[in-house]
Amino acid sequence: MTRVVCPGSFDPVTNGHLDIVRRASRLFDEVVVAVLVNESKKSLFSLEERMDLLARATSDLPNVSVDSFQGLLVDFCTEHDVSAIVKGLRAVSDFDYELQMAQMNGNLTDVDTVFIPTSPEYSFLASSLVKEVAKGGGDVSGLVPDFVLARLDEVFGR
């Protein structure tokens, strides 16, 4: 049985994240989507809401679960018997930092990192940009699930 983790801040989950999670769920037996608890980073959505939105967005995928973690990702992997970290790669610009993290994580434990190329229609997509555009009144429909769109509208008073 191969259990993998898709880690991130997911503030909020986008269709780009879901593309990677969905494809990982076809490749591996179990996928744990792990939301980073980062008290030093101000998030738009609480940890509970980020996890709830993710759970709703992945409810049709029986081998996907949602969890959270604090501290090092490699410790989460050891504690949860995770054999690989799955990351999406949007562009070459992602690669340097992702490679560095993959190598550091591999140096800390024997956990491997598997990169999945983001589908081209999502290669520009990032939670930070979704928030910026939604805040400015721009249209982010099609980039996030409808219930995330509704929450963004509420948060930004639209």
* Options 9, 127, 131, 151, the catalytic residue: 127
* Cβ-based nearer residue to ligand PNS, 35 or 152: 35
The answer to whether 41 is a known catalytic residue is yes
The answer to whether 80 is a known catalytic residue is no
Give CA–CA dist 36/74, Å, rounded.
12
Angle between helices 127-135 and 146-155 (to 10 degrees): 50
* Options 25, 43, 87, 90, the catalytic residue: 90
- The counts of H helices and E strands in the chain are 6, 5
The answer to whether 87 is a known catalytic residue is no
Regarding beta strands 3-8 and 30-36, do their DSSP bridges make them parallel or antiparallel, or are they unpaired?
parallel
Residues that bind ligand PNS (CB under 6 A): 7-9, 36, 72-73, 101, 104-105
Q: CB 14 → ligand PNS: shortest distance, Å?
A: 10
* Cβ-based nearer residue to ligand PNS, 1 or 118: 118
Q: CB 157 → ligand PNS: shortest distance, Å?
A: 26
Q: CB 91 → ligand PNS: shortest distance, Å?
A: 14
Residues constituting the chain: 158
Q: Provide the 3-class DSSP secondary structure of residue 123.
A: coil
* Options 26, 40, 41, 42, the catalytic residue: 41
The answer to whether 90 is a known catalytic residue is yes
* Options 17, 50, 87, 131, the catalytic residue: 17
Write the DSSP assignment of 28-95 as a string of letters.
SSEEEEEEE--TTS--SS-HHHHHHHHHHHTTT-TTEEEEEE-S-HHHHHHHTT--EEEEEE-SHHHH
Q: Provide the 3-class DSSP secondary structure of residue 4.
A: strand
Q: CB 103 → ligand PNS: shortest distance, Å?
A: 8
Catalytic residue numbers? Answer: 17, 41, 90, 127
